[in-house]
């Protein structure tokens, strides 16, 4: 780590992430570490300042936690924020608003610590290229490239660092949105000259999913089949020693700190058999999502790829309700493409967090070309949220809704009705399955 680092030590606060974010906003790298980090570990991290972030969860096994006293002997400025830290003999900040906290933090990091504002994506990329080259040498790295933000940025970074030593495997499971696999091929194979293996597994996935109604069962089949396809491709390739993953900083934070009550395990391509284990390359593990996007742009990835809305791993499989049929899947994909096109042309793609279409299993009666028809409805959903835990509905203007409806009814076969889902989360989830 060449950039100056301000450590936020977790003494049971809920807002470690917020403090870290505020420091990075000032152009200085910051990361969260457990309260009992040793002076030895700190010495390896280019640390310019230490923030003790106290809070409510400051008891472990009935004992109040504290830092290793040896950290005060490192000659690194220490600053306490939060409460219940009377024991600390340094200054204590009692700031309230984010702006006030930021001002306090600025004074600390630039005056007391003399830190340099050298955290930016150019420096990050240069550092990572060197780190990846040192780690990998002349060996090969495998990456499951879905075309999502994280895997695309990992791919672009690794291509810059090791070129064709990176082998990207893109599995088209037949549940991608319109044009998505084509975009992956265009950007990575044609523009970035990547070593890309494209696997057309459409029939295989849709075959396994035939007549499967239960949503959980569908997800399990898609997940398990993905691992199987990926495993088969990995076995065909010789001499791969590394597996790259798009792990990002929130995954690391969510995996738990010592004081966090909820510990969530994370793994991306987990579940590979014992005899097929690789060393991991996770170059984005320090980045928050917006930094991942900035990194992708800096690496020259197309804006749309880097800023695309979240899309579930099981893809359109969770939006084609009940047992998936090719007929309904095609209608869903075409309707989704129209929704995305219209959102983009009205600037809603930059405003709305997530928007998509859903197709149920039932039909209803309608009239088309003066004749009775019995066809599927398409449901539109457009939500805003910060963390996907709760969500509100975007109030789309009527003319835009009517245009989307008109286009879907005229352009998508087997659809004779369009509905707009007005349900916030809770009580509706964002997805329907
Ligand atoms: P729900 O439907 O639970 O979704 O309100 C919350 C957010 O999570 C996304 N989602 C997924 N993302 N794999 C993912 O990577 C999945 O299996 C998955 N299922 C739901 C969903 O699109 C929404 O943004």
Q: How far is the CA of 213 from the centre of ligand 1 (A)?
A: 19
Kindly state if the Cβ of 385 falls inside 6 Å of ligand 1: no
List CB contacts of 309: < 8 A, sequence separation 6 or more.
349, 353, 354, 355
Residue located nearest, by CA, to atom 6 of ligand 1: 388
Q: How far is the CA of 219 from the centre of ligand 1 (A)?
A: 11
Answer yes or no: pTM beyond 0.75.
yes
Q: How far apart, in whole angstroms, are the C-alpha atoms of residue 28 and residue 35?
A: 21
What are the structure tokens assigned to 177, written together?
A: 């949105």
Kindly state if the Cβ of 309 falls inside 6 Å of ligand 1: no
Q: How far apart, in whole angstroms, are the C-alpha atoms of residue 268 and residue 278?
A: 13
Q: How far apart, in whole angstroms, are the C-alpha atoms of residue 362 and residue 323?
A: 11
The candidate with the shortest Cα–Cα distance to 189, out of 254, 246, 253, 145, is 145
Q: How far is the CA of 197 from the centre of ligand 1 (A)?
A: 27
Q: What is the pLDDT along the chain (433 residues), one digit of tens a residue?
A: 689 999 999 998 888 999 999 999 999 999 999 999 999 999 999 999 999 998 877 888 888 888 999 999 999 999 998 644 444 445 555 556 788 888 999 999 999 999 999 999 999 999 999 999 999 999 999 999 999 999 999 999 999 999 999 999 999 999 999 999 999 999 999 999 999 999 999 999 999 999 999 999 999 999 999 999 999 999 999 889 999 999 999 988 877 566 655 444 444 456 888 888 899 999 999 999 999 999 999 999 999 999 999 999 999 999 999 999 999 999 999 999 999 999 999 999 999 999 999 999 999 999 999 999 999 999 999 999 998 999 999 999 999 999 999 999 999 999 999 999 999 999 999 999 9
* Residue burial 170-208, b: 16+ Cβ < 10 Å; e: rest: bbbbbbbbbebbebbbebbbeebebbbbebebbebbbeb
List CB contacts of 152: < 8 A, sequence separation 6 or more.
145, 184, 187, 188, 296, 301, 305, 306
Between β-strands 63-64 and 59-60, what pairing exists: parallel, antiparallel or unpaired?
A: antiparallel
> CA 188, 232, 144, 317 torsion: positive or negative?
positive
Q: How far is the CA of 389 from the centre of ligand 1 (A)?
A: 10
Kindly state if the Cβ of 431 falls inside 6 Å of ligand 1: yes
Kindly state if the Cβ of 430 falls inside 6 Å of ligand 1: yes
Q: How far is the CA of 418 from the centre of ligand 1 (A)?
A: 23
**Whether 289 contacts 248, CB under 8 Å:** yes
């Amino acid at each position: 780590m060449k950039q100056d680092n301000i450590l936020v030590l977790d003494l049971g606060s809920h807002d470690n992430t917020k403090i870290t974010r505020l420091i990075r906003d000032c152009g200085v790298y910051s990361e969260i570490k457990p309260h009992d980090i040793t002076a030895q570990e700190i010495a390896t991290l280019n640390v310019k300042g230490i923030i003790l972030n106290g809070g409510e969860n400051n008891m472990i096994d009935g004992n109040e936690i504290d830092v290793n006293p040896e950290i005060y002997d490192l000659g690194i400025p220490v600053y306490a924020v939060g409460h219940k830290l009377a024991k600390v003999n340094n200054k204590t900040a009692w700031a309230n608003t984010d702006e006030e906290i930021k001002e306090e933090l600025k004074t600390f990091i630039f005056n007391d610590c003399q830190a340099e504002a050298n955290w930016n994506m150019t420096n990050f990329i240069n550092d990572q290229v060197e780190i990846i080259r040192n780690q990998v040498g002349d060996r090969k790295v495998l990456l499951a490239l879905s075309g999502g933000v994280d895997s695309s940025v990992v791919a672009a970074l690794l291509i810059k660092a090791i070129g064709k030593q990176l082998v990207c495997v893109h599995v088209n499971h037949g549940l991608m949105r319109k044009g998505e696999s084509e975009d992956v091929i265009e950007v990575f194979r044609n523009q970035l000259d990547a070593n890309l293996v494209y696997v057309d597994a459409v029939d295989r996935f849709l075959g396994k999913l035939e007549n499967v109604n239960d949503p959980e069962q569908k997800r399990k089949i898609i997940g398990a089949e993905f691992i199987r396809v990926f495993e088969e491709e990995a076995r065909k390739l010789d001499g791969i020693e590394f597996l790259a993953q798009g792990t990002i900083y929130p995954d690391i934070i969510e995996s738990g700190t010592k004081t966090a009550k909820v510990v969530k395990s994370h793994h991306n391509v987990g579940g590979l058999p014992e005899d097929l284990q690789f060393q991991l390359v996770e170059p984005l593990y320090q980045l928050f999502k917006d930094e991942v996007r900035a990194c992708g742009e800096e690496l020259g990835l197309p804006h749309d790829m880097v800023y695309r809305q979240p899309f579930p791993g099981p893809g359109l499989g969770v939006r084609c309700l009940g047992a998936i049929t090719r007929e309904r899947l095609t209608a869903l994909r075409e309707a989704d493409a129209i929704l995305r096109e219209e959102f983009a042309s009205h600037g809603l793609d930059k405003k709305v967090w997530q928007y998509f279409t859903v197709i149920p299993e039932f039909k209803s009666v309608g009239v088309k070309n003066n004749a009775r028809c019995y066809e599927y409805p398409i449901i539109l959903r457009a939500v805003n949220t910060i963390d996907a835990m709760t969500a509100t509905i975007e109030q789309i203007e009527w003319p835009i809704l009517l245009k989307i409806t008109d286009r879907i009814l005229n352009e998508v076969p087997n659809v004779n009705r369009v509905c707009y889902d007005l349900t916030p989360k809770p009580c509706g989830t964002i997805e329907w399955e």
